[in-house]
């Protein structure tokens, strides 16, 4: 079991395009990540895409990535590898997640939580 006192949780949100299956359940797409508080590395990621396969794809894409690197690479990966109507919403949610992460860094001055 991981020590959640040493992790941070961030979310990014975006509106879904009209006519998507997930829109019947959610009006917006959410991407959430739990990161290691020392290096901002994504430990776990999830999203509200309608299919389990889509959720797993996004989780695998983000797991192991450090948010300290910004969202340029994950956005490029989505644009190159996710061919579907939710691509623009995924990009927007990643940008929103990055804004929330940077806001946290500015407010608290660091990502790292003091150990012990």
Q: Which residues contact 38 (CB under 8 A, 6 or more apart)?
A: 6, 111, 112, 113, 115
Query: Could you report the per-residue pLDDT of 36-55, keeping only the tens digit for each?
Result: 988 999 999 999 998 999 99
Q: Other C-beta atoms within 10 Å of 93: how many?
A: 27
Query: Could you report the per-residue pLDDT of 72-94, keeping only the tens digit for each?
Result: 999 999 999 999 989 999 999 99
> Is pLDDT above 90 for 71?
yes
Q: Other C-beta atoms within 10 Å of 79: how many?
A: 13
- pLDDT band of residue 110 (cuts 50, 70, 90) is low
Q: What value does the mean pLDDT of the chain take? A: 87
Query: Could you report the per-residue pLDDT of 92-102, keeping only the tens digit for each?
Result: 999 999 999 99
End-to-end CA distance of the chain: 17
Choose among 98, 100, 93, 73: nearest CA to 16.
93
Residue 108: the pLDDT is 84
> Is pLDDT above 80 for 24?
no
Sheet of 42-47, strand order: 7-15, 28-36, 42-47
Q: Confirm if 35 and 10 have CB atoms less than 8 A apart.
A: yes
Residue 58: the pLDDT is 96
Residues shown for the chain: 116
Region 18-36 average pLDDT:
74
């Amino acid at each position: 079991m991981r020590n959640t006192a040493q992790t941070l949780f961030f979310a990014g949100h975006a509106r879904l395009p009209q006519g998507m299956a997930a829109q019947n359940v959610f009006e917006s797409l959410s991407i959430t990540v739990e990161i290691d508080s020392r290096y901002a590395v994504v430990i776990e990621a999830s999203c509200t895409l309608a299919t389990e396969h889509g959720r797993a794809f996004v989780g695998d894409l983000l797991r192991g990535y450090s948010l300290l690197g910004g969202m340029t690479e994950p956005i490029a990966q989505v644009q190159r590898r996710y061919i579907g109507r939710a691509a623009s919403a995924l990009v927007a949610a990643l940008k929103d997640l990055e804004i929330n992460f940077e806001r946290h860094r500015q407010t608290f001055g660091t990502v790292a939580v003091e150990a012990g």
